[in-house]
Each structure stands twice: as structure tokens, then as C-alpha cells.
Amino acid sequence: MGFLAGFTLIEMLVVFSLLFTFSTVGIASYVQFTNDQSLNAAVGEFSTTLNISRMRAVSQVIPAAATSCAGQTLRGYQINLTPGDRDYEIDILCGGNVVMLNKQKLLDNICFNSASNTPLIFNIADGTTKPAIITINGIDKSKVISIDNAGNVSVSELSTSPGCSGTPLPTSTPIPTNTPVINPTDTPVPTLTKTPTPTNTPIPVPTNTPVPTPTNTPAPTNTPVPTSIPTPTPTGGIVSGQVYRLMNQCSNKSLDVQGVSTANGASESVMRCK
């Protein structure tokens, strides 16, 4: 069975480290980009409001919504704002009246930091005004809007920002410190008693029991075989079964053969044991 190709632990750790680094840098860059875009949008919207107010003053246009200015002389337009706040309003000056045309608000976490010669008034016919400098704070940057005598608007950027005093910036939630856990009663840990190590009892070594040496049993002496008694040769040609029987009976004795005369004058051999 073959092995499937895979990644080692070192390779995976390197990849995850690079992903973490890139994601951290990417998130930080995205947050910075979002903050810059929010500040640019707020400054751009306010600058547009300034330009529209100046153009209306030059053209001496009275909006239809300003019904209270009907039949009255138009004196100009003004922008009214409060440092530290997000709100600003557009007013129309007609006769001796100040009529609010519109009220707007900057984006979240963006506010007016300072303003000189406010409210800012654009005069009719030429759109001139008093020079003014308005600073708008973002989260980490600020924008400075400058208005000259002719009513021209220019924007510059500051690298730092004190934040908005009127709108508190979101602060990071403090990480709670680890509270040490206190046991209600510290139960003492019982000390372990040392058990004495049993000594090794020597095992008695059995002594070698002497093996009794077997005594040599004397071999029985050979009983001398009795020598055979020479078989006497019968005389007179007497050989019969009786002779052999007598010889066996007289195994330890000598056999005596004697001649005996019978009554008829014949001779017989008589054998006896001596």
C-alpha cells in the first residue's frame, strides 16, 4: 500500500504563520483605509455644502422652501456650526430674518474640532466672506478646511487627530485580569510515610550430603566343580544298563566288580559300591 503525499508539521506552521501575518496587516490596512474614507467623505460633503451656499449667494437664489423670505431682500447664506459637535446647519439671510434651510450631521466618530469666524457668511452678488479655518477630526487623522476672502475652499490634511470630544471614540474593552482562586480551606496534604524496605532474608544454601560410597560386594567364589569320576571300564565284557545305574549311584564311591561262581558252575560278575 503506497503512502499519500502530504505536508509536514513545519510546512503547515510556516503557512499558518504567513496567513496570520498577512491577515493582521490586511485587517489593519483595511481599518485605516475605512477611517480615511469616512473622514474624506465627511470633509467632501461639508466642502460641497460650502460651495453650494456660496453659489446660491452669488446667484441670489431663494429656495422655494424658504417661504418666510418671500418678498424680502436676500442678504446671503451662512453656515453655522459648533466645535466639538457633529451637527451643522445651512441658513438663509433675508431681511432681518435667519431661516434654517437644512441641518446635517457628520459621520460617526468625526466632528468639528475648531472654527474661526463662525458663523460663516457668504455675501450676495460676489460670494465673499471673512477668511475662516475649520478643522474636522477623524479617528487618527484630521482635515483642515480653509476659506479665503473670495469664498474659495481648500482642504489640507493633518497626520494626527485628538479625536472627537463630543462623540466619544470606541475604546477597546479592557481585558480582565486573572483573579487568583482562593480555596475556602486549604486542606494540608498528608505527608507520605516512608515504608521501610524489607531486608532480604538470606536463603540457606543446602549442604551437599555426602553420597555414600557403595562397598564392593565380594564376588562369590566359584564352587569347585567336582571332578568327574572316571568311569571304570567293565571287565569281562559286561556292559548293560545295570552297570550305568550302579555307576551313577556310586558317584562318590568306587565301584567294585567281583566274579562269583553260580551253582551250576557258571561265573557271574557282581558289582558293588565300596
Q: Which residue has the higher pLDDT, 238 or 87?
A: 87
Range list of H helices, 4-65:
9-59
Query: How does the average pLDDT of the chain come out, rounded?
Result: 75
Domain definitions of the chain by residue range: 9-158
CA distances from 243 to 237, 249, 270 (A): 11, 10, 10
Residue 227, SS3? coil
Tell me which DSSP letter residue 27 carries. H
Q: What span, in angstroms and rounded, lies between the C-alpha atoms of 166 and 109?
A: 9
The pLDDT of residue 261 is above 90? no
At 133 the pLDDT is 94
Q: pLDDT, tens digit, for every residue of 228-241?
A: 544 444 444 444 56
Lowest mean pLDDT among 67-81, 136-150, 191-205: 191-205
The pLDDT of residue 155 is above 70? yes
Closest CA relative to residue 164, chosen from 136, 144, 132: 136
At 25 the pLDDT is 86
Instruction: Pick one of 3.90.79.10, 2.40.50.140, 3.55.40.10, 1.20.120.530 as the CATH number of 9-158.
Output: 3.55.40.10
pTM over 0.85: no
Q: How many CB atoms lie within 10 A of CB 250?
A: 17
- What's the gap between Cα 261 and its chain centre? 145
Q: pLDDT, tens digit, for every residue of 168-205?
A: 444 334 444 444 444 544 455 455 555 556 566 656 55
The pLDDT of residue 10 is above 50? yes
Q: What span, in angstroms and rounded, lies between the C-alpha atoms of 133 and 137?
A: 13
DSSP letters along 116-152, please? SS-SEEEETTT-----EEEEEE-SS-EEEEEE-TT--
14: Cβ–Cβ under 8 A, 6 or more apart, which residues?
none
At 184 the pLDDT is 43
Q: pLDDT, tens digit, for every residue of 18-44?
A: 988 888 888 888 888 888 999 999 999
**All three cell numbers of 29:** 490596512
Query: Count H helices, E strands: the chain?
Result: 2, 10
Q: Which residue has the higher pLDDT, 157 or 249?
A: 157
